[in-house]
Amino acid sequence: MSLFTHVSIPDWYFVSMINSQLISFYVDNFINNTSHFQINDARQLPIIVPSKEKLKEFETLFNNAVEIKIAQSSNEISNEGAEQKLSKIQEQVDEKVNELYGIA
């Protein structure tokens, strides 16, 4: 699937947003309650354009998650260790998304 925007926001930002608990909740309850996320679902998401500072924070979290997955796939880190580290990153992503949307 492909998604094109009218603003210059990197793809990894959308990936981070779509994988947050808040956006998942929104999709499940207001857009599509099936287990399949479709491109038309993505078009309906209320994505906030972040400041440069917020974008950098999301980029750091995204890159950290990618590094963990790479280390996991090359057996540099155990599956359990990777899951623990990714869980912490997920919490941080969820916090940042909640901050963007004004949810305390």
Query: Which H, E and C letters describe 34-59, residue by residue?
Result: CCCCCHHHHHCCCCCCCCHHHHHHHH
Rounded CA-CA distance 25/19 in Å is: 10
pLDDT of residue 92 exceeding 80, the answer is: yes
Domain enclosing residue 93, as ranges: 11-100
Determine if the pTM surpasses 0.85.
no
Using one digit for the tens of pLDDT, what is the confidence trace for 13-56?
Answer: 988 998 899 988 888 888 876 667 766 677 778 888 899 999 99
Question: Looking at the predicted structure, is the pLDDT value of residue 3 above 90?
Answer: no
Distance between CA 95 and CA 92 in Å, rounded? 5
Instruction: Give the pLDDT score at 4.
Output: 64
Assess if residue 1 is contained within a domain.
Answer: no
Q: What is the pLDDT of residue 25?
A: 87
C-alpha 61/C-alpha 86 separation (Å) is 10
- 3 within a domain of the structure (yes/no): no
Domain count along the chain:
1
d(CA 26, CA 34): 12
Is residue 5 assigned to a domain?
no
Residue 2 lies in a domain: no
What local confidence, expressed as pLDDT, does residue 83 receive? 97
Is the pLDDT assigned to residue 2 strictly greater than 80? no
